[in-house]
Amino acid sequence: MTDIHATLTALAKRRGLYFPSTDVYESVAGLYTYGPQGTALKQNLEASWRDRFVRREGHMEIESPTVMPESVFEASGHLDSFADMLVECAACGESTRADHVVEDATDIEEAESYSSEEIGALITDHDITCPTCGERLAGQAVTDFNLMFGTNIGPGSSSPGYLRPETAQGIFVEFPQLAGYARNQLPFAVAQTGKAYRNEISPRQALVRVREFTQAELEHFIDPEEDEPPIRDVADVVLPLYPVEEQQHDDGTLRELSVRKAIDTGVIGSTWIAYYLGVSKGWYDRIGIDMNRFRYRQHLPEERAHYAADCWDAEAKIDDEWIEITGFAYRGDYDLQKHANHTSKDYSIFRQFDTPRTVEQPRVDPDMSYLGPKYGNAASDIADALSDLAARTPDAFKAESVTVTVNGQAYMIPREKTGFAFEEVTDSGEQVRPHVVEPSFGIDRIVYSVLAHSYQEDVIDDDQRTRLELPVELAPTFVAVLPLMDRDGLDTYAQDVADELRAEGFSVAYDDSGSIGRRYRRQDEVGTPFCVTVDHDTLEDETVTLRDRDSTAQRRVAVGELNDVLTALHADERTFDETGTKVIT
């Protein structure tokens, strides 16, 4: 199998997984439509994500708008710096990601972290050419291109807005409201799945880099001093880690460490990140990512945002390329701080002390019967200045007299007239700015990786067959019902079987066209785990043939037991060989 991208593109179009949108008018790169099979697969994947990361963890989920006002992105920093480097070819006019052409032509792996001047120099030094027309790019300006799609909210241009480039901001902005729903108790986490939009310079490889995609993000708000994740739940999970040191040696060696060991040896700096790598590894395995083509790669220091303490990407290998499918970042208090600075709202949480703390605080109680007659209108400003001074420099009150300046004039006040004293104050807690731990999943890239890793070719009865070895949970169709022939009552019997299974809640396909062999192949190709065949014996003995996708083994099952058998298979409570009786083919 050589070019899995080309193979998948053909399969995806033929069988309704996904295909380029609006082709009938014009093909616009980076916009895809999921067909019937792909939509079902993606929905199943999202349901699985929700089950693992929201329901099982007991987190909240919200749905915020996909278009938001400019002020949000001004605060978040996207307006200023959510940009990629672009170089335009003077000959053909095509724009290309400047860092990518450098990566393709050199040994540099993370050219994104270089400045545009450095990238420009590298393009010249390596005499890099345009990937579209082959002309030299040397000397062309490398510019920053903001990836956000802009629009106006309402008529006119007075209210600029942007399609969100990530779902996360919809959560951060609403933190004050969401904290209330969490009863102002840390830690708590909020999830959101939905569309994100990035005007990518060079979309590529079908679903891998598109301009509209689906994210599933989780923002876990924690008290950095007090909160720890339930590490024991994942302590023994072994992680395929590709830490910075290994990347610098450049031999691609992975370190297989348990979550516990990775924390104890300091390979993963944050217990929270370690926790999410542990949880997610189980999930990737569950959805059919091949664990031999999977790793967690740590961000190189130059790749990491300045505020992020530790970042790892989950990566899946497709052909020879490693593709980032999820980012895990310890973001500190960066996001909440930004929104706090740009609004008058409280982006913090009150942390109650275990026992109230008593501290001595300096304060003044100036003698106004002295200050008033002596300084007239300036008296109250002098009192305020004394109060400020006590808070800032209590030692100033050790002298016999204290000097304060009001409106440029110095006043010397005898200490006994200031009423200076230390007062005991009891605090029951303090305001804490939560830190954020963010696992950010790219659903489309995960769909694509699952397809690439589940794609199999084998030979059955001298016949080449293609199959998607999708886990039952993700398969667009769970069971296909096939009448052996389209007559003799087999069709109506099969229709009834299909209706009954649908009523039970299974996703069921009905197919009566073509030879039974071809119909099996059609289902194999879209990953349907089981087929039920109704034949002439069915009319006699009320049994059907149940066929397993991967082994192609067949068992004879009583129609009356079909629901129970399929329910058990769906829940993975029974193996295929434990159902009905074996059919010798």
Interface ranges with ligand AMP (CB under 6 A) = 166, 198, 200, 209-210, 213, 215, 324-327, 440, 442, 444-445
Q: Quick count: other Cβ atoms within 10 Å of Cβ 535?
A: 19
Rounded CA gap, 139 and 368, in Å? 74
Output the smallest distance, CB 564 to ligand AMP, in A: 39
Helix (H, G, I), strand (E, B) or coil at 21: coil
Q: How far is CA 417 from the centre of its chain?
A: 62
Q: Which is nearer to ligand AMP, 94 or 324 (CB)?
A: 324
Q: Report the nearest approach of ligand AMP to the CB of residue 305 (Å).
A: 10
Identify which of residues 63 and 541 has a Cβ nearer to ligand AMP in the complex: 63
Give CA–CA dist 144/163, Å, rounded.
19
The answer to whether the CB of 566 falls within 8 A of the CB of 501 is yes
Q: Within the chain, how many helices (H) and strands (E) appear?
A: 19, 29
CB nearer to ligand AMP: pick between 315 and 535:
315
Pair type for strands 212-222 and 188-197: antiparallel
In the complex, least distance from residue 197 CB atom to ligand AMP, rounded to whole angstroms: 9
| In the complex, least distance from residue 505 CB atom to ligand AMP, rounded to whole angstroms | 31
Nearer to ligand AMP, 193 or 523 (CB): 193
CB of 93 to ligand AMP, least distance (A): 23
Q: How far is the CB of 447 from ligand AMP (least distance, A)?
A: 10
To ligand AMP, the closest distance from the beta carbon of 345 in angstroms equals 24
Q: Measuring CA to CA, how many Å separate 499 from each of 479, 481, 505, 506, 507?
A: 12, 10, 10, 10, 10
Per the structure block, which two tokens stand in for 379? 């008296």
Quickly count: other Cβ atoms within 10 Å of residue 164's Cβ. 27
**With 0-12 CB in 10 A as exposed, 13-18 as middle and 19+ as buried, what is 315?**
buried
Nearest by Cα to 551 from 527, 572, 576:
576
Residue pair 279/239 in contact (Cβ under 8 Å)? The answer is: no
Q: What residues contact residue 150 under an 8 Å CB cut-off, 6+ apart? A: 160, 161, 162
Nearer to ligand AMP, 208 or 404 (CB): 208
For ligand AMP, the closer CB: 437 or 509: 437
Q: Which residue is nearest to ligand AMP, using beta carbons?
A: 442
Please state the closest distance from residue 326 (CB atom) to ligand AMP, in A.
5
Name the residue nearer to ligand AMP (CB basis): 209 or 417.
209
Judged by beta carbon, residue 315 or residue 511, the one nearer ligand AMP is 315
| Alpha helices (H) in 106-148, listed in sequence order | 116-125
Q: Which of 37, 7, 165 is nearest to 507 (CA)?
A: 37
Q: Are 467 and 246 in contact (CB under 8 A)?
A: no
For 106, the token pair is 């050199």
- β 238-242/294-298 pair status: parallel
Reference 368, options 378, 381, 379; nearest CA is 379
Closest separation in Å from C-beta 207 to ligand AMP: 6
Shortest approach of ligand AMP to residue 81 CB, angstroms?
Answer: 13
Torsion of CA 373, 374, 379, 383, to 10 degrees: -110
Distance CA(394)–CA(184), nearest Å, equals 35
What's the min distance (Å) between Cβ of 98 and ligand AMP? 17
Q: For 341, list phi and psi in degrees, rounded to 5.
A: -65, -30
> DSSP secondary structure string, 484-533?
SSSSTTHHHHHHHHHHHHHHTT--EEE--SS-HHHHHHHHHHTT--EEEE
By C-beta, is 199 or 495 nearer to ligand AMP?
199
Question: Which C-beta is closer to ligand AMP: that of 46 or that of 200?
Answer: 200
> Which backbone phi and psi does 217 adopt, to 5 degrees?
-120, 150
Least separation in angstroms between residue 238's CB and ligand AMP is 22
The pair of three-digit structure tokens given for residue 462, joined into one six-digit string: 């001298």
Q: Write down the least CB distance from residue 422 to ligand AMP, Å.
A: 51
Q: Which is nearer to ligand AMP, 30 or 366 (CB)?
A: 30
C-beta of 209 vs 261, nearer to ligand AMP? 209
3-state helix, strand, coil split of the chain in percent (to 5) is 35, 30, 35
Q: How far is the CB of 163 from ligand AMP (least distance, A)?
A: 13
Which CB sits closer to ligand AMP, 325 or 475? 325
SS3 353: strand
* Cβ closest to ligand AMP, residue 76 vs residue 387: 76
Nearer Cβ to ligand AMP, position 194 or 483?
194
CB 511 within 8 A of CB 519: yes
Q: How far is the CB of 212 from ligand AMP (least distance, A)?
A: 8
Other beta carbons less than 10 A from residue 550's beta carbon: 12
